[in-house]
Amino acid sequence: MGFREDFLWGVATSAYQIEGAQNKLNKGLSIWDVYVRENNKIYDGHTGDIACNHIQTYKEDVKMMKDMGIKSYRFSIDWSRVIPDGYGNVNEEGMAFYDSLINELVKAQIEPCITLYHWELPYEIYKKGGWLNEDIVQWFGRYAGIIAERFSDRVKFFFTMNEPQCFIGLGYLNGVHAPGLKVNLRDTFEMAHNVMKAHGRAVQMIREKSKRDVLVGYAPTCGMTYPYSNSKEDIEATRKVMFSIPEADNWTWNISWWSDPVMLGKYPEEGLMKYEQYLPKITEEDMKLISEPIDIYGQNIYNGRCIRMGEDGRPVDVKRKDGYARTANNWPVTPECLYWGPKFLYERYKKPIYITENGMSAHDVISKDSHVHDDARIEFTRKYLSELKKASEDGVDIRGYFHWSLMDNFEWDKGYSERFGLVYVDYETQQRVLKDSAYWYKDVIKNNGNNL
Ligand code: GCO
């Protein structure tokens, strides 16, 4: 009992958040390179220009992972680094970097997992309309094929899109992420439809160009829900809220609009009705492309809402307790979501699940004894993983967990003010210090979670 014997214990990062060298190695501009230069968009004027300088330190970083006992590394490829304008020539210098990173991982016996899109839309594609331009479906597919052709001999895991909820919602609806726009609702639905078509096309191209059988997945996010009690009514109310559809003005933050099409081949009825006036033309052919079968389901999970059945038979949110536990960026600590989230997702989508991200930000400091005592992160992860283990024991097909993040990094509009890493990064010296949580996680991995 517990986790599967071959459970994939991992850590995750993304390209812009750690790489640095943004204008080196012939990289093209991405929307983030441009956005961070605007005034007052990013905390204290921070940029990802240097970030964790991973382009230069990747060998040491891989060695560090090996020392931490990490079994798998989920990283992303910056589209604008390997195809500077997104659709034209391939930049060999960019490809060579990832090639070498992958070789290091393989040597260290760390399973590489590629995410294709963790938000670096090439600026040249943005200028052509970005996600609004239907051609992006082919451009993204071509990019996916190029990556699969080159790396599938060594890489088995490919995730297409990371958190479409965020890159459309935060990028185009409330404008706090690149490209920082607030566009019409109509446009956001069309973008979302193209995102999912691009996902489908990528799945096809990965299969076509891979040198062997690979595993293809998707990595959306969203808040989860968990029931107030184990009564049938509360559980039913919770399941209902989990897959419910929000009002149009903040529509992107939900699960089913983004996952039902991909996993079940149809948009949720509730959404088709609620959003009708904003929707683009949706054809059967589109739905077929969008639901091109995938092998594994990734989900980024950070927290959730507690739900119970109301007196009137409608689900209600249970108020959080006064003084409830929170992380440094004020996200609630709700371990139950790592039990109920995967359980509901597995019931609905019936695919093996990987938690592609989970973790917390804390105000970590290096202590007088030169260590970083991040007890809160240890406690957080212990509680979350214990719930995940319970789900696995209850028959949910959970195959892996990637802690966000390997190391502190550029947290988007929050710059370097949030520290999510198991490893502390001093951004002036680029020194890395394993936090207590890194040693703790190593022990968990060694025991396959049996010591949680
Ligand atoms: C994602 C996330 C990460 C964040 C993390 C903490 O999309 O995968 O936004 O990039 O750093 O979720 O907020």
Q: Going by C-beta distance under 8 Å and a sequence separation of 6 or more, which residues neighbour residue 384?
A: 335, 338, 358
111 labelled catalytic: no
CA 368 from centre of chain: 35
Nearest to 117 by CA among 84, 162, 150, 156: 162
The pLDDT value recorded for residue 426 is: 98
| Tens of pLDDT, residues 299-310 | 999 999 999 999
DSSP per-residue codes, 323-363: T--B-TT--B--TTHHHHHHHHHHHHH-S-EEEEEE---B-
Q: 357 CB less than 6 Å from ligand 1? A: yes
Pair 21, 55: CB distance under 8 Å? yes
pLDDT at position 87 is 98
State the sign of the Cα–Cα–Cα–Cα dihedral 272, 277, 280, 282: positive
**38 tagged catalytic:** no
234-258 pLDDT, tens digit per residue, is 999 999 999 999 999 999 999 999 9
Q: Are 225 and 305 in contact (CB under 8 A)?
A: yes
What Cα–Cα distance (Å) separates residue 360 from each residue in 115, 236, 421?
Answer: 21, 29, 8
Summarised one tens digit per residue, pLDDT across range 69-100 is 999 999 999 999 999 999 999 999 999 999 99
Residue 1 pLDDT grade (very low, low, confident, very high; cuts 50, 70, 90): confident
- Residues near 449 by Cβ (< 8 Å), separated by ≥ 6? 2, 3, 7, 385, 389
Q: Which of 357, 405, 413 to mutate to test the pocket of ligand 1 (most atoms within 8 A of CB)?
A: 357
Query: What is the helix (H) or strand (E) element at residue 403, kind and residue range?
Result: strand 398-404
Catalytic residue among 163, 292, 336, 411: 163
